[in-house]
Amino acid sequence: MLLLSLGPKAWPRLSQFKPRILPRSREGEFLHAWSRNLSGQNQPRGPGLRTRLLITTLFGAGLGGAWMAAKAEKEQRQRQQRTEALRQAAVGQGDFSLLDHQGQPRCKADFRGQWVLIYFGFTHCPDICPDELEKLVQVVKQLEAEPYLPMVQPVFITVDPARDDVAAMARYVKDFHPRLLGLTGSTEQVAQVSRSYRVYYSAGPKDEDQDYIVDHSIAIYLLNPDGLFTDYYNRSRSAEQIADSVRRHMAAFHSILS
């Protein structure tokens, strides 16, 4: 073999073929760098977590704001369409001449410049009329509690003029609200204002006590300060829902003026 042929004096020269061993400090640095490369720590970093969260939040807020703006625009468009449809229905057109519960003559022009809520009923009504008038009063009280809103005038018009004279109306309205205005008149005057607001009513048969029930439409009407019929609320609407609707109509009306 080669090693044997060289003889013992040649063996020390083989030490030059041993692999070089890195110093401990350099070897540790090499292994640390190698492990960092495997774990990707030396790769270029993108935005930090806080930055990504901020970008996501701002993007979500932008989408939310756009959605809210689109929703508000849609609701405003629907209100305008509804208002236009109500005006075309010609509800509340024309004047009326009635007496209030203090015997003073009243006409439609007396309410110009005011928001008005009107309910048609009769004082002998056992349940529906008191419930609806109480709801109307709750709406007025809710709006009165917000001093920046304009005053709303509550009005009760009878559809039973044969029994609901001025004195009967005065006794009846005082149990609901100090500003509730009761209106009555002759049979012809009540029929005229009822037709104007598309209110149906019909007196039923009399019992042995000459008492009777008047069947009639159940709705609360909203008039704006220009005296125009703006909206109506049936029996299913709560006081809170009506108050919210009145607020929206007020805001829309004053935004047009400004």
Annotated binding-site ranges for Cu cation: 125, 129, 216
Tokens of 193: 């204002």
- 3-class DSSP assignment, residue 69: helix
- 155 and 119 Cβ atoms separated by less than 8 Å: yes
What span, in angstroms and rounded, lies between the C-alpha atoms of 60 and 66?
A: 10
Q: How buried is residue 204: exposed, middle or buried, by Cβ count under 10 Å (0-12/13-18/19+)?
A: exposed
Helical H segments across the chain, by residue range = 2-6, 24-39, 49-88, 128-144, 166-173, 187-196, 239-257
Question: Position of tokens 């609707």?
Answer: 245
Q: What backbone phi and psi angles, to 5 degrees, belong to 230?
A: -110, -35
Q: Would you put residue 189 in left (φ > 0), alpha (ψ -120 to 50) or beta? A: alpha
Radius of gyration of the chain (CA): 42
103: left (phi over 0), alpha (psi -120 to 50) or beta: left
Which residues are documented as binding site?
125, 129, 216
**Contact residues for 151 (Cβ-Cβ < 8 A; gap 6+):** 114, 115, 144
